[in-house]
Structure 1
Amino acid sequence: MLIDEFYSPLHEITPCTLAVVAEKDAKGIVHTVVLEEEAEYMVEQPPSKLIDHACKFFGSSLKGRQDGTRDICGITHKAPISIDPSSGMYFFPTTSPTNAKCSWIAHSHIEHVSRATNETTEIIFRNGKRIILDASYGSVMNQIHRTAQFRYLLDNRIRHLQQPKTVPGTRTST
């Protein structure tokens, strides 16, 4: 399997990615609008497929990342994931990832969330960009809190593993 199957500059999810948003074209086919800090572009794949490719680039898959979330904090539905924890790439889905209308939001870029209508929510990112999601305010806020909890637990695990270990009965030199 060649790495080119998983990586293309047009499909790269990076720490600068704000959101991967589902959008239907005139024929009703779901594509993705990728919002970056400095750019926006369209990809002719659904968002969850793009997220899966990004996970594979970093050595897992969307399913693997979802399984990891379940094992770490017990979240089984609409699970937030870490595409790459070392670069802080934590994303949450706006609906079930099996739903073609599912968009993915980068947790670390969110500045403010507000109700747009009863069924839509506006997210304002730290760079001032805004999007309106077809998801209720309560649902989006729940996803933000669940992502924060998952992020905290995973970051603590990683930090614990990076601490120097001492073996009982040995002395560390200074």
Structure 2
Amino acid sequence: MYLKESYRISPKMICISSIFDRQGNHYSLVREVDRLFVVTLPPLKVIDYSIRCNGYNLKSALDTAKWLLGKNHLCPIVVDPIEQIILFPTRSRFHEDNIWFNPDHIKRTFFLRARTLILFMNDLSFSIPGQQSSFNHKLTTADQYKRLTVGPDRYPITQYLVKKQRLLLKLKKEMNKAEKK
């Protein structure tokens, strides 16, 4: 496992949780689809940094979620509307045992001995304490929030610009190939 000084959340991120070193420093344990590493910042700072890279901050993301969902506790948040990254917490965002999950990577959940077993799309699994129904409710809320905020119909102008940019890149590549011949 390796150490990173900063990290911007990507679509490959499965979950992020707290970890402490022997001196009590608060770090983040990040699990991506194909790797696991530690970031020398707490999860909320990593999340806030990732959101700030998109022009707003954690507080505004939470305020928007509370406003749209009409609830004040354990709201999912939009981290990146362009990449369509949503995260949801398992506990209060200030609790040391809180884990933030990306719902896109969750394939299925099971209840096993007073714990929820989470099976991810890459066939890894993760176990957390608590009821499966409670976790599934948070997962469903996150999925609904994603459809409400960053679903395919939410950003038509952005999608148009992305498609246009891809088309221009494709045309440029074809022109370069034609010039080489």
With the length of structure 1 as denominator, give the TM-score of the two structures: 0.77
Letter in 2 for 1:141: N
**Percentage of pairs with the same residue:** 23
Cα drift, residue 33 of structure 1: 1.2
Number of residue equivalences: 154
1:126 matched to 2:121? The reply is yes
Cα drift, residue 137 of structure 1: 1.8
- In the alignment, structure 2 segments of 5+ residues that lack a partner are 158-181
* Counterpart contact for 2:6–2:41, Cα < 8 Å: no
Cα drift, residue 116 of structure 1: 3.3
Distance 1:24 1:138 in 2: 29
Distance 2:86 2:78 in 1: 4
Residue by residue over 1:60-103, the C-alpha shift from the partner in whole angstroms, topping out at 9 and shown as x without a partner, is 11111111112222132111011012212011001010112211
Residue by residue over 1:117-171, the C-alpha shift from the partner in whole angstroms, topping out at 9 and shown as x without a partner, is 31x3221110112222234322211110111121122136x725637xxxxxxxx
Q: Counterpart in 2 of 1:138? A: 133
Distance 1:53 1:108 in 2: 21
* Counterpart contact for 2:5–2:39, Cα < 8 Å: no
Letter in 2 for 1:143: K
Q: Counterpart in 1 of 2:156? A: 162
* Counterpart contact for 2:81–2:150, Cα < 8 Å: yes
Comparing 103-112 with 25-34, greater Cα deviation is found at 25-34
Q: Counterpart in 2 of 1:116? A: 112
Q: Counterpart in 2 of 1:152? A: 147
Distance 2:108 2:120 in 1: 7
- 2:9 counterpart (6, 13, 22): 13
User: RMSD of the TM alignment (CA)?
Assistant: 2.3
- 2:34 counterpart (33, 38, 61): 38
- In the alignment, structure 1 segments of 5+ residues that lack a partner are 1-7, 164-174
* Counterpart contact for 2:5–2:40, Cα < 8 Å: no
* Counterpart contact for 1:54–1:83, Cα < 8 Å: yes
* Counterpart contact for 1:122–1:133, Cα < 8 Å: yes
Distance 1:154 1:142 in 2: 18
Comparing 132-141 with 60-69, greater Cα deviation is found at 132-141
